[in-house]
Each structure stands twice: as C-alpha cells, then as structure tokens.
C-alpha cells in the first residue's frame, strides 16, 4: 500500500509476518516570518524554522498513529539545511511524539526544494514482535519472526582526534561500543550509512599526492573492518566472494562524520543474508588504487531472506559501469544509468544468480528511495526521471556531494519482494 500527497508519502509493506512503514516527509508549508525590526536583514522575510519543523513532525506523527505504528518507529533520519537546528528538532520531536522516533540521526544535508528540513522514517509493527528503546545509546532493538534487529543512529566521534581518518575511526568505535552491550557484534552489520562532511575535499598530503576526505574515510573503514568475517553464520556456503555490509558513503555540509547502522541476528535454520553484487559493475571492494588507496569496503546490496520473503538494502549507487564513471556532466543520463544499475542489481535474474531463485524484483519493488543531488539546479531533470521510472514510490531528495567529482547523482533504497507462488 502506498499513499502520498505533495508533502508526505509512505509505503506499508510486509516485514516477515509483521508489517513495516517507510515515510518520506517535508514541512506542510514553507513558513516564513517578517522581522519585527525591518532594519535587520533589510526587511526580508526569513524561514520560520520552528513552524516548519513542527509541521513536519506533526504530519509524520499523524501517519504513524493512523497506520497503527504508534511506539513502533525503529529508525528516523532528519535532513537539515542548517545543522544548528539539531537540538530544536530533538526538542520538538520529544514534545510532539512522546513514543519517540526510534534511532534518530540528524544529517547536515539540505532538502533540494528550499525547505529547512525533511525526514525519512522506518517503523515495524505486528502481533508477534517487540520494539524497545535501548537504555544504552541512540539504539532501538526489535524482534520479529525469531530475528533480532539492531537500529542505531547518530554515531559521532566521541574524542577530539584531527583528520577524516581519525574521526571516522572514532565514530566506528562509538558504533561498536553500542553494539556490544546490546548483544550484537560488528560482524552482524547488514547496512551502514556514513555521512562525511566535505567529502571530496583534500584532507591529507602524502608522498603520493593529496588524499580526499572520502579516501581517508575508505582507509579508516578498511582498517576498522580488518579481519572481520561479516555475517559468516548466515551467508550461504556457496558464496565465495568477500562480504561487507551494504553502505552509503555520502557528503554532508558540516565538517564531521556521522554514522547510522542496522545489524541482524537469528538462530533460524531458514534465515540467510546474501550480499548482492551488480553484473554490470566491478565490486566496490575491488576498485583499483587510482580511485582510492584503499577501496570502499561495501556490498552493492544486501538481502535478508526468511523463506518466501526478502528485504533488500540497496547501497548508494551512481552512474558507474565496470569501475568507470559514465556520462560526466549529464545529470539526466547519470540518473538513467544509476536506475539501470539498481534495476540490474535487484532483478530476479541477479537474485537467482546469488542463490535466491523464484523472487520477482525490479524498480517497482522499491518501497523507499533516497536521491542525493550534487547541484540543486539539476533537481528538476533528476526528479522527472525518477518519477517516470519509480512511479509513486516515496522518494526523498537532498543536496549532497557524491564520491567522485564528476558524479552528480547517487541513489539508494529499500526493496521488498516475495517468492512467486
């Protein structure tokens, strides 16, 4: 089931024997105010941050309650044009929705339409499940169908190291410190999001040249994941390739790094987790050193499979075939190629090649999509293509740097599919 209006859209779909909701929302109005003192700001009207944020959160709350997900939100992401509004968002969220917004991450990425904030919400509800807020950190734990889920957000550096590498390592350590007391391990991660401020700027000078902040992030991720056998208990024995979580590494408007993550655990005999690679792309972890001294350690996608049901986490995807960028400078063709890549990744044919026979899948199975646009002026053409190809799928658009200077668009999402009867 999908519903939408101009400012909020959502999908309600199966989550095993439970149900899940994905909500994408913007403020109901772009409220503005006129300064009382007309000499301030030359008398120009300015955004009313508080009213915009409150209208956003109230509209989300109303959908949550109307669809039976009260107290069942597991993860929320708030995207802000000005990160200084972070505490205002938290305060209004606590006042407006006492049941909470799950593991909340606040990200310094501006909505493309000029609003001061937007949000993406994920909730899970059902008779045979539990959702609880952990007493340790910004974490929500859920259990359904004998599967335990960890949802964690807003993992930032806790100390004061300098440089993208050191601060990324510290943020990963913060994530690990929240996993362990909640009975999870790093190797149980299935999905991560890494928001790195000033992603493609120079961060370090070496004998071999200048390293970007994204390259330093890749080095930190490689070192932190060193020797970790991801999801070994759940991976089909026939799978021989390297295994890493699905992930997005994307730019942000501030200078720091923040991470959110999902981990999973189950003793079910018919529970599997399958990393997906794209038949048209080189695996990211196999990229050459010309792109980054340490390759990005992530899978193109990750499938959580219980019997006849699959949840597919689609990693951040761009206009790349093999390992080369395509259609430099052309946002329309980059958007088309990116969607082609996602369609190939989650196709029934590719799922079958990865041992998941009998599942129908494609772009129509995407239940929530996030689109990162580097240049706001490209939004119109990007949105038109996404709407044409994705229909009424809830889509959130933000402004963000992508990992290579020539890349203008990156797209990620969640897909849900069931086996053909």
- Each residue of 398-408: pLDDT tens digit? 999 999 999 99
pLDDT-based confidence at 37, cuts 50/70/90? low
Residue with tokens 């790349």, as numbered in its chain: 320
Would you state the pLDDT for residue 209? 64
Between CA 232 and CA 72 the distance in angstroms is 29
- State mean pLDDT over 160-170: 90
pLDDT-based confidence at 41, cuts 50/70/90? low
- State mean pLDDT over 177-181: 96
Q: CB burial class (10 A; 0-12, 13-18, 19+) of residue 37?
A: exposed
325 touches 293 (CB < 8 A): no
Asked whether residue 155 carries a pLDDT value surpassing 90, the answer given is yes
Running DSSP on this structure, what letter comes out for residue 201? S
Can 187 be counted among the known catalytic residues?
no
Q: Which CA distances in Å does 75 have to 83, 108, 120?
A: 19, 17, 8
- State mean pLDDT over 244-259: 95
Between CA 270 and CA 272 the distance in angstroms is 6
Q: Where are the domains of the chain?
A: 2-36+43-418
Q: What share of the chain is helix, strand, coil (3-state, %, to 5)?
A: 25, 35, 35
Asked whether residue 72 carries a pLDDT value surpassing 90, the answer given is yes
Asked whether residue 308 carries a pLDDT value surpassing 90, the answer given is yes
Would you state the pLDDT for residue 284? 95
Would you state the pLDDT for residue 43? 56
Would you state the pLDDT for residue 36? 54
Q: Is the dihedral of CA 303, 76, 226, 285 positive or negative?
A: positive
Q: CB burial class (10 A; 0-12, 13-18, 19+) of residue 50?
A: middle
Which position among 216, 336, 367, 410 bears the catalytic label? 410
Least confident of 195-199, 208-212, 217-221, 276-280: 208-212
Maximum Cα–Cα distance across the chain = 71
pLDDT-based confidence at 270, cuts 50/70/90? very high
- State mean pLDDT over 43-59: 86
Residue with tokens 């509004």, as numbered in its chain: 85
80 touches 116 (CB < 8 A): yes
Would you state the pLDDT for residue 192? 98
Higher pLDDT, 28 or 278: 278
Strand partners, 73: 123
Would you state the pLDDT for residue 35? 57
Alpha carbon of residue 288 to chain centroid: 25
- State mean pLDDT over 352-372: 96
Would you state the pLDDT for residue 136? 76
Asked whether residue 254 carries a pLDDT value surpassing 90, the answer given is no
Higher pLDDT, 307 or 337: 337
3-state secondary structure of 255: coil
Rounded to 5 degrees, what are φ and ψ at 316?
-55, 125
Between CA 10 and CA 60 the distance in angstroms is 10
Would you state the pLDDT for residue 287? 93
Between CA 409 and CA 378 the distance in angstroms is 9
Asked whether residue 380 carries a pLDDT value surpassing 80, the answer given is yes
Asked whether residue 371 carries a pLDDT value surpassing 70, the answer given is yes
Average pLDDT of the chain is: 92
3-state secondary structure of 418: strand
Between CA 206 and CA 86 the distance in angstroms is 36
149 touches 141 (CB < 8 A): yes
Would you state the pLDDT for residue 241? 85
Strand partners, 155: 259
Would you state the pLDDT for residue 286? 93
Between CA 405 and CA 287 the distance in angstroms is 17
Would you state the pLDDT for residue 26? 94
pLDDT-based confidence at 93, cuts 50/70/90? very high
Residues above pLDDT 70, as percent of the chain: 95
pLDDT-based confidence at 205, cuts 50/70/90? low
Higher pLDDT, 162 or 220: 220
Structure tokens belonging to residue 18: 């439970």
319-346 tens-digit pLDDT: 999 999 999 999 999 999 999 999 999 9
- State mean pLDDT over 149-157: 97
Asked whether residue 5 carries a pLDDT value surpassing 90, the answer given is no
Higher pLDDT, 161 or 15: 15
pLDDT-based confidence at 109, cuts 50/70/90? very high
Alpha carbon of residue 348 to chain centroid: 23
Residue with tokens 């200077």, as numbered in its chain: 405
Between CA 234 and CA 264 the distance in angstroms is 10
Would you state the pLDDT for residue 363? 98
| Inter-helix orientation angle 331-346/379-390, to 10° | 30
């Amino acid at each position: 089931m999908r519903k939408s209006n101009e400012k909020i859209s959502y999908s309600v779909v199966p989550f095993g024997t439970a149900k899940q909701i994905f909500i994408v929302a913007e403020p109901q109005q772009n409220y503005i105010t006129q300064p009382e003192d007309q000499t301030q700001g030359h008398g120009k009207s300015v955004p009313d941050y508080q009213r915009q944020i409150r209208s956003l959160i109230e509209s989300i709350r109303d959908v949550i309650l109307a669809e039976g997900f009260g107290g069942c939100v597991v993860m929320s992401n708030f995207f802000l044009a000005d990160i200084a509004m972070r505490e205002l968002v938290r305060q209004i969220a606590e006042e407006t929705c006492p049941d909470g917004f799950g593991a909340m991450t606040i990200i310094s990425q501006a909505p493309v339409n000029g609003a001061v904030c937007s949000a993406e919400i994920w909730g899970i509800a059902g008779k045979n499940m539990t959702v609880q807020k952990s007493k340790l950190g910004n974490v929500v734990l859920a259990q359904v169908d004998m599967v335990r889920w960890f949802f964690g957000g807003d993992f930032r550096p806790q100390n004061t190291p300098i440089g993208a590498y050191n601060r990324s390592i510290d943020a990963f350590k913060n994530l690990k410190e929240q996993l362990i007391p909640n009975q999870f391990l790093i190797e149980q991660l299935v999905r991560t999001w890494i928001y790195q401020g000033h992603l493609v700027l120079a961060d370090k000078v070496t004998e071999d040249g200048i390293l970007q902040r994204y390259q330093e992030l890749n080095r930190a991720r490689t070192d932190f994941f060193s020797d970790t056998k991801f999801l070994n208990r759940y991976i089909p024995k026939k799978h021989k390739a390297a295994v890493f979580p699905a992930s997005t590494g994307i730019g942000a408007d501030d200078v720091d790094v923040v991470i959110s993550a999902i981990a999973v655990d189950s003793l079910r005999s018919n529970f599997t987790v399958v990393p997906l690679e794209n038949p048209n792309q080189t695996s990211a972890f196999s990229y050459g050193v010309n792109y980054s001294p340490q390759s990005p350690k992530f899978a193109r996608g990750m499938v959580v499979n219980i019997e006849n049901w699959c949840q597919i986490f689609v990693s951040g995807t761009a206009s790349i075939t093999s390992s080369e960028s395509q259609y430099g400078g052309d946002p329309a063709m980059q958007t088309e190629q990116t969607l082609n890549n996602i369609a190939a990744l989650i196709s029934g044919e590719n799922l079958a090649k990865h041992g998941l026979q009998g599942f129908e899948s494609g772009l129509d199975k995407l239940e929530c999509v996030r689109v990162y646009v580097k240049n706001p002026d490209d939004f119109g053409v990007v949105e038109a293509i996404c709407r044409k190809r994705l229909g009424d799928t809830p889509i959130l658009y933000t402004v963000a740097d992508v990992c290579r200077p020539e890349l203008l668009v990156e797209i990620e999402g969640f897909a849900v599919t069931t086996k053909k009867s």
